[in-house]
Chains A and B, each alone.
Chain A
Amino acid sequence: MTGPQSRADTRKLLEVRDLRKHFPIRKGLTRRKVGQVRAVDGVSFELLEGETLGLVGESGCGKTTTAHCILRGLEPTSGRILFRMDSGEVVDLAELDESQLRPLRKQMQMIFQDPFSSLNPRMTLLQIVGEPLLVHGVASARQRRQRVAELLELVGLSPDHMRRFPHAFSGGQRQRIGIARALALQPRLIVADEPVSALDVSVQAQVLNLLMQLQDKLKLSYVFVAHDLSVMRHICDRVAVMYLGRIVETAPTEQLFSAPRHPYTAALLAAVPAPDPRVRSQNEPLSGEVADPADPPAGCHFHPRCPHAEERCRQQMPQLEAISPGHEVRCHLARQLTLEGVEIPAAKGSS
C-alpha cells in the first residue's frame, strides 16, 4: 500500500492521474506485436465525495475502458488511481495486486451496461444479490436473506421474487437487480458503465431517478459513463468529454451545456436531435467519423473533423488547460472561439 498522498482535500474520493491503457495489436503465428491501440491515453480527473462525474463520448473514445481500469477490471498500462479509503488513507489502486484489492472492493462497485449478460442466468436473485455478502463473509445465511430483501426493496423490487431467476424479469428490473448487487456492500464509489443505454425511454427515466435518489440517501459518488448527452444533463455534476482516448473538455454540467469551449463538445451537443419538431436543426452536421484509435491523426486528434482547425492544430497536440476554475479545455483556440451551446428556452411550460 502507498503511504498517504494528498490528505489536503478530504472531500476528494478518487483521483486518476495520467491513466493509460494500450491494447497491443498482434499478428501472425508468433503473436508478434505490430502496433497498439491507445484506448486511454493520459486521462486525469478527480471525483469528489458525493459527486457525479460523467464521462461522455462516441464509441472508441475510451470512456468504458477508463471506467473498467478504475476498478481494475482491466489492467491499466500506466498511471495512478488514487482512492481515499473510508479510513482516510489514500491508496494507489493501480499498484495493488488482486489479494490486496479484494478488501477494497467493498468500497467500490460497478453497474454494467447490459442488464442481460451481467447477471448469471443460473443463479437466483438471492444468490446474485447475496454473493458480495457471501464473498466478503459479512453475513450468515439468514442475515444474508434479510439484507437481500432490504436491498431489493431499496431498488424497488419485491423481496418475494428472491427465488426467481433473472430471466423472469424485464430489462429495467434486471438493471435494478444489478444496482442492488452493487449496493450490497455499502460502497462509496460506484462506476456505472452506460447503465441506462440498453433500456427503453420510460424505464430509463425510472432507473435514472433511482440512481439519483440512492445517491442522496446513501452518499454515493458516481463515475457515470454514457454516450447520451441528455442523460448526462440530468444526472451529472461535472462532465468530461472524451475523444480518442483523451479528455478534451471538463466542466460543470451547466457550463458545459450552455457554453462549451471545445468544438467537439459543441458538435456533440448540436448533433443530439431535439425532441421538438419546431426546432429542426438546420446546421450542417459534423463531417467525417472518429479516426482509428490505432492510428490517430497527428496534432490535435480532432483536427480532421474540426471546422475551426488551423495549421498548428495539425502539428501540435494541445494541452488540457484551465480557462476558468473547474473548466478545462484541450484546444488551441479555446479562448478565441465562441461556440453555441444548448439554448435554454425561456418560456417552456412543460418541464
Chain B
Amino acid sequence: MADASQTSAPDADARIDVSPARLMWRRFRKHRVAMGSMVLLFGFAIIAIGAEFFATTDPHLPEAHRSLMPPQSIRLFDGSTFRPHVLAVRGHRDPQTLQRVYEVDPDRRIPVRLFGHGYEYRLLGLIRTDRHLIGVTREHKGEPAIFLLGTDVQGRDLWSRLMLATRVSMSIGLVGVALSLLIGIVLGGFAGYLGGWVDMTVQRMIEILRSIPTIPLWMGLAAAMPRDWSILRVYLAITIILSLIGWTELARVVRGRFLVLREEDFVKAARLIGARRKRIIFRHMLPSFYSHIIAATTVAIPTMIISETALSFLGLGLRPPAVSWGVLLQQAQNVQSVALSPWLMIPAIPVIIAVMAFNFVGDGLRDAADPYGQ
C-alpha cells in the first residue's frame, strides 16, 4: 500500500486536532527567508500608514536655495557627550560652474531628537500634530534641518518624499491586485467551473490580453487620460489600467484550481449528497484554494509595483505633485544628474526590497498552502 509515502507520514501526527490554517502557519514559519520578508513588509506597511510621522521635512515644500543638497548624516556624539545633531549646511553658487555648492558649517550644530517637532500634519488623517520620529527641539522648530537622503532639484527633502511615495506605491500595488483578484476570481471561476464555451472565451481573452505589448498599451491608455484630472482620479485610473492586465495571471490560477478541484472526490461526494452548486463552490471549492489565491496574489503585488514604477518613470503614470517611487526616480532619468547627485537613485532601493520581499513571502505561502501535500 502507500508504503513509499511513509517517509512523509511521520509528519502527520503532530497534526492531531490542529486546524488546517494552523498547519499552514506552522509550515510557513519554517521558511525563514519568507518570515524575514514578512517582517520587512510589515515595516513597509507601517511606513505607508504613518508616512508623515516618519518624514522629517515637508515633502512638498520646494526651496530653490537648497536644491540638490547631498545627504546629511546624524552625528551621535558632540565631543564625548551623547548629543545627536546634524551640522548645518551653507550653500552658495559656484561663479564658474554656476552650480550650487554646499559646505558644512562645523560650528552650527542642530540638535536632533526622537519624537521631536517639525511641520504640522494630521496623523492617519485625523490627529493634528507636529511630532515626527526624528525632529528638532521646540526652540529649533522651523529650521530647515535634517536632510537624511539629501534633496532633489527643487530642494525638497528626499527622505520625506520617499516615506510618502511608499504609501502611494504600496497602496497602488494592493488596490490594483485587489481589483485584478476580483476580475480574476469571477472570470477564472466561471471558466473553470462551467468549462465549455465560457472557458474557451475567457481563455482566448486572456491570451489576447497577454499578447499585447504592455508599454504601448499603457501609453495609449495613459494618453487617453485627460491632463486635467485630479491626482486621485489619475491614481484610480492607473490602478484600473494595471489590473486590467494583471487579472489574467490570477484568473489562470483560479481556473486551474477549479479544474483540479472539480475532479476531487470530496467535491464529487458533495454533489452526490445533493448539495447545490452554490454550496459546492463556497463551502468546498473556494476554501480549498484560498491559500493558493493568497500566494498567487502576493506574487502579483510586486508586478503591480514595478509596473507603476515603470509607468510613472516614463511619465505615463502618476505625475507630480503626486509622489510615488516611480515619480521620484523620474529625477534620476539623466546620466548627468545621477553622476552629480547619486542620492537621487536611492528610491530604487525600496522598490527592489519590496519586490523581493513580496516574492519571498509568496513563495513561502505557496509552499505552505497545501498542508497535506508534499
Contact = CB atoms under 8 A, between A and B. Distances in A.
Contacts of A167: 12, 15, 20, 23, 371-372
B314 to A, nearest CB: 37
Contact of B268 (A73, A132, A181): A73
A168 B266 contact: no
Contacts of A112: 265, 268-269
How many chain B residues sit at the interface, stated as a range, is: 20 to 34
Nearest to B13: A168
A119 B268 CA distance: 10
A120 B288 contact: yes
Nearest to B277: A98
Interface string A92-126: 00000000011101100110111011111110000
B287 interface: yes
Contacts of A122: 20, 287-288
Nearest to B18: A165
Task: Determine which residue in A109, A113, A116, A121 has the highest number of CB atoms from chain B within 10 A of its CB, and name it.
Answer: A121
Given A119-B266, A120-B284, A198-B2, A106 B274 contact: yes
Contacts of B274: 101-103, 105-106, 132, 135-136
Contacts of B17: 163-165, 168
A198 B372 CA distance: 18
Given A117-B264, A164-B17, A168-B17, A132 B273 contact: yes
A108 B20 CA distance: 31
Given A131-B275, A135-B275, A165-B19, A118 B269 contact: yes
B92 interface: no
Interface residues of A, number: 35
A103 B273 CA distance: 10
A200 B6 CA distance: 13
B271 interface: yes
A71 interface: yes
Interface of B is mostly: helix
A101 B18 CA distance: 37
Nearest to A169: B16
Interface in B94-127: none
Contacts of B269: 110, 112, 118-119, 178, 181
A71 B268 CA distance: 11
A121 to B, nearest CB: 6
B265 to A, nearest CB: 4
Task: Determine which residue in B1, B17, B265, B287 has the highest number of CB atoms from chain A within 10 A of its CB, and name it.
Answer: B265
A131 B265 CA distance: 15
Interface in A58-84: 71, 73
Contacts of B275: 131, 135
A71 B288 CA distance: 25
Interface in B262-283: 264-266, 268-276, 279
Interface string B335-361: 000000000000000000000000000
A199 interface: yes
Interface in A6-24: none
A103 to B, nearest CB: 8
A165 B20 contact: yes
A180 B266 CA distance: 14
A71 B272 CA distance: 7
B341 to A, nearest CB: 55
Interface string B202-232: 0000000000000000000000000000000
Nearest to A136: B274
Given A118-B265, A118-B266, A167-B15, A199 B1 contact: yes
A288 B23 CA distance: 47
Given A112-B265, A168-B17, A121 B273 contact: no
A107 B275 CA distance: 14
Interface in A224-260: none
Nearest to A110: B272
Contacts of A110: 269, 272
B262 to A, nearest CB: 12
Contacts of B268: 73, 112, 118
Contacts of A121: 20, 288, 371-372
A38 to B, nearest CB: 21
A106 B272 CA distance: 9
A221 B371 CA distance: 37
Contacts of A132: 273-274
Contacts of A131: 270, 273, 275
Contacts of A165: 17-20
A184 to B, nearest CB: 8
A200 B3 CA distance: 10
A40 B371 CA distance: 37
Contacts of B273: 105, 109, 131-132, 135, 181, 185
A73 B1 contact: no
Contacts of B276: 102, 135
Interface string A146-175: 000000000000000001110110010000
B16 A168 contact: yes
Contacts of A178: 269
Contacts of A199: 1
Task: Determine which residue in A113, A135, A167, A181 has the highest number of CB atoms from chain B within 10 A of its CB, and name it.
Answer: A167
B265 A117 contact: yes
Nearest to A124: B19
Contacts of A119: 266, 269
Nearest to A104: B274
18 contacts: A73-B271, A73-B272, A103-B274, A105-B273, A109-B272, A110-B272, A118-B266, A121-B371, A131-B273, A136-B274, A163-B17, A165-B18, A167-B23, A167-B371, A168-B15, A168-B16, A181-B269, A181-B273
Given A101-B274, A132-B273, A164-B17, 7 more contacts: A110-B272, A112-B268, A120-B284, A121-B20, A131-B270, A135-B274, A198-B1
What are the 9 closest A-B residue pairs judged by CB atoms, nearest first? A105-B274, A118-B265, A168-B16, A120-B266, A117-B265, A102-B274, A132-B273, A135-B275, A112-B265
